[in-house]
Amino acid sequence: MEIQDIVSQVKEDITNFKKDNHNWIIIIRWATATWKSKLSVMIWDFFDIEIISADSRQIFKYMNIGTDKVSDDILKKIHHHQINIVNPDERYTAWQRKDDTEKLIQKIFKKKKIPLIVWWTWLYIDTIYKNFSMPSCPPDHKLRKKLEDKEIKKPWILYKELMEIDTQEANKLHPNSIRYIIRALEIYHKTWKTKTQSYLQSDVKRPTLMIWLRREKEDTNHRINIRIKEMIKNWLIDEVRWLLKKWYWSQLQSMQWIGYKETIEYLNWNYDLEKLEETLKRNTHYLAKKQRTWFRRYIAEAKQIPKKNVTYKLYKL
């Protein structure tokens, strides 16, 4: 199905939903390369909306090509929130995201507009969709460094500790998912509650139109391949080189994302240009696969236990 056909269906569904609800929101989600941003921009032509990004990478300034941000022209034309708000070496927690997003939604309501939340990062979406209660637990960098050093001396020790403290959370993670394991341990050491105890779901706070976009694997991977070529052509390498010159070190979490870590390897002479492209394709295909797995779970959950206050719409591209 073409994007124009999807827009027509979405337009009709939003119009119908709008008739019966007040102070409501739209959420658009699915995996990478499924026209989420394009659809949100096209919806803007028909409805009085403001867009809230729920992407974990586009919050960072200067990281434009590797995060596939919308163009500056679109950002000037359409009010986007949660884009370009922190530097690449700064932290921005899920708790901060939830708090800021709630404030943004209220501001948009006061303008008599519709908040449209878009992107795939499941935790950021779930702070609204599943209405998680979340601990006010700012990063403790000394504790994190202590845990990191402990893991270096004895690999997987942190995973074993988490398994003893919070088995339910540990079962969601791979022992090599160090960043997430450290965050779960940090929450426990700072609040004396496990992450499972802290992240509790509540009823959805407001009427929500949940839009899912589904694209077949082969089509998604084809679009990813085209996007990778365009990123390299459109100065991804120069963007990463500039970031490194500005002292945004390769060890930063933001610089370890797909697109950036591979390009750093290229700049360190570990890849040639052909291998850079192929590695980017392979890693992004794998990311898309993980995203599809996550979202299939959400669809199954919605069918089995649909949430009150949520209307679900699935569109196949």
**pLDDT of 174 over the 90 cut:** no
Of the candidates 30, 54, 32, 50, the one whose C-alpha atom is nearest the C-alpha of residue 41 is 50
Fold (topology level) of 3-134+203-215+295-316? Rossmann fold (3.40.50)
**pLDDT of 168 over the 90 cut:** yes
Percent of the chain having pLDDT more than 90?
Answer: 59
Q: Token digits for 282?
A: 């392979």
pLDDT of the residue at 292? 85
Query: Domain residues of the chain, as ranges?
Result: 3-134+203-215+295-316, 141-198, 218-286
* 101-113 pLDDT per residue, tens: 999 999 999 999 9
* 138-156 pLDDT per residue, tens: 888 899 999 999 999 999 9
Please report where in the chains the tokens 């509790």 appear, as a residue: 200
Q: Please give the model's pTM, rounded to 2 decimal places.
A: 0.85
Band (pLDDT 50/70/90 cuts) for residue 1 is: low
Band (pLDDT 50/70/90 cuts) for residue 222 is: very high
Q: Assess contact for 98 and 125: CB atoms under 8 A.
A: no
User: How far, in Å, CA of 28 to CA of 116, rounded?
Assistant: 8
Domain 218-286 architecture: Orthogonal Bundle (1.10)
Class level of CATH domain 141-198? mainly alpha
Q: Which residues contact 282 (CB under 8 A, 6 or more apart)?
A: none
Of the candidates 158, 166, 199, 163, the one whose C-alpha atom is nearest the C-alpha of residue 182 is 158
As a residue count, the chain comes to 317
